[in-house]
Amino acid sequence: MADLEIACVCGQVKGMFRNTGPGYGSRVICYCRDCQAAAHHLGHPEALDECGGTDLFITTPERMELQSGADKLGCFRFSPNGPRRWYTTCCNTHLGNTTHDAATPFISLNLACATPATRPVVGQSTRGMMVRDARNEPNLPRKIAGMSRKLLFEVVLRTLFATLRGKRGTTPFVRDGKPVAEAVMLSREVRAEALASAGFK
């Protein structure tokens, strides 16, 4: 186990996942349209790989802490029941996604915000999901057109165990039982513009 360091592009927001490793989450590359659209909406398409993938570490957030910039968190969603997509308001760095209530012990951390030197702490990216939306054919050992049942089982089990251990709401994104920022619901027009920017019609 080791610390996974995270930081926004401009450096005002810094934090880490303490004492984590491959056994604490699932590393997967997501090629879905909304992840690609989110990167373009925030103005950081460079956070995607050459096939349009977002490198994610899906885990529980109780090991996550912010050393600076906790007052610079914002979030948006593409649909009423969609995930909260958290970013930094200082430079629009995408940090990760939580459930719509933010308190459920679940986060898909965008590893683009992790320092390159510490990314290996959570293992290698060997799985790709929603590959049907990829720009090109990803060079990965395991590729799923949609959502992997095995991955879904891993996430549900991990989230359930964290809930039973009383970790609900143990996250920098929740304070006093409520999300620290209101989720801005983007209009259909804004989503369509982001999708078009990502190459989808």
What is the model's pLDDT at position 85? 98
Percentage above 70 pLDDT, the chain: 100
pLDDT band for position 169 (cuts 50, 70, 90): confident
Mean pLDDT (the chain) is 93
Out of 23-32, 73-82, 157-166, 168-177, pick the least confident.
Answer: 168-177
**Residue 151, burial from CB neighbour count under 10 angstroms (0-12, 13-18, 19+):** middle
- Alpha-carbon distance of 31 to 109, in angstroms, equals 15
What is the model's pLDDT at position 140? 87
Structure token pair of residue 18: 């303490």
What is the model's pLDDT at position 58? 95
Backbone torsion region of residue 11, taken as left when φ is above 0, otherwise alpha when ψ lies between -120 and 50, otherwise beta: left
What is the model's pLDDT at position 20? 94
Q: Tens of pLDDT along 34-47? A: 999 999 999 999 99
What is the model's pLDDT at position 152? 87
What is the model's pLDDT at position 177? 83
